[in-house]
Amino acid sequence: MANAAAARAAPKPEQQREPEVTRAKLLQAAIQVFSEYGYERATVREICRRAGVSIALVNYHFGDKLELYLAVLRYAIDGEAKMALFNQALAENTDPCDALRQIIHGVLERLSASHEQFGLQLRFMLKEMANPTPALTQVVDETLRPVYDRLRSLVGKILNLPMDHKKTRLCTHSIVGQITHYSQCQPVLSQLWPAMKMSREQREMIANHIADFSLAYLRASGAGPERAKAGHATAKRSASPPGTRLTSARSNK
């Protein structure tokens, strides 16, 4: 009888999933409302109305409106998924060039696979970038900067330059720019290039082009041992506080 009572008391699988479903509903409704109104004009009441839940559940799952906004911002940046792509590529490839190619394919595919959902995330991020909130700095440091640093490190290995070198940063931003161009400019691309439907085959073609185009420059511009040594010294100097460099220059006179 005790076992039967315990079985009746145990939550059913759908009951266990209910908090996750409610949280997902709130996130989906919140990204819509924040995209339309921005943080200041958006209301928790409207978010809950669209999610079909009570206002109390925002406090239960997130705490308050700001924490809900932070959660939506993390969701839109998608840093954890991007970091997982990096970790997988680095684990599966010893050659940094092969790892970079796999990362380009993975990120482009993730950004382009669900056009409707990505469009919603993009509208939210454009609203945030047009009127940045204090939340942006926190979430960038938490989720985007680790991905950015990992990509800079990988590009630096191919160039044989430090990750803080100017050329490493420029090349990193060029790669990111190519990926975001194809993933974020689809409405314009469809006008300029009607045949470009971003089908799976076309995404494969684009990812290969970005990888080939980027690696051709990275390999051609890679520093040899002497240039790499000079690059490390330059990066170290540029990372030093201005007063330190001035003192060093005076002492050399």
In angstroms, rounded to a whole number, what is the distance separating the alpha carbons of residues 102 and 106?
Answer: 6
Radius of gyration of the chain (CA): 23
- What pLDDT, on the 0 to 100 scale, is given for residue 248? 44
The SS3 of residue 129 is helix
- What pLDDT, on the 0 to 100 scale, is given for residue 222? 84
In angstroms, rounded to a whole number, what is the distance separating the alpha carbons of residues 214 and 175?
Answer: 7
**Across residues 216-227, what is the average pLDDT?**
77
Structure tokens belonging to residue 67: 């924490």
Give burial (CB, 10 Å; 0-12/13-18/19+) of 250.
exposed
Phi-psi category of residue 161: left, alpha or beta, with phi > 0 → left and psi -120 to 50 → alpha:
beta
- What pLDDT, on the 0 to 100 scale, is given for residue 119? 76
In angstroms, rounded to a whole number, what is the distance separating the alpha carbons of residues 231 and 39?
Answer: 43
Cβ(108)–Cβ(179) under 8 Å?
A: yes
Find tokens 């990096």 and name the residue: 86
Domains of the chain and CATH, by start: 10-74 (1.10.10.60), 78-237 (1.10.357.10)
51 or 116, which is more confident? Answer: 51
Does position 43 have pLDDT exceeding 90, yes or no? yes
**Could you report the per-residue pLDDT of 100-147, keeping only the tens digit for each?**
999 999 999 988 766 667 778 888 998 999 999 989 999 999 999 999
In angstroms, rounded to a whole number, what is the distance separating the alpha carbons of residues 104 and 7?
Answer: 49
Distances from the Cα of 228 to the Cαs of 94, 143, 153, 214, in angstroms? 21, 30, 14, 19
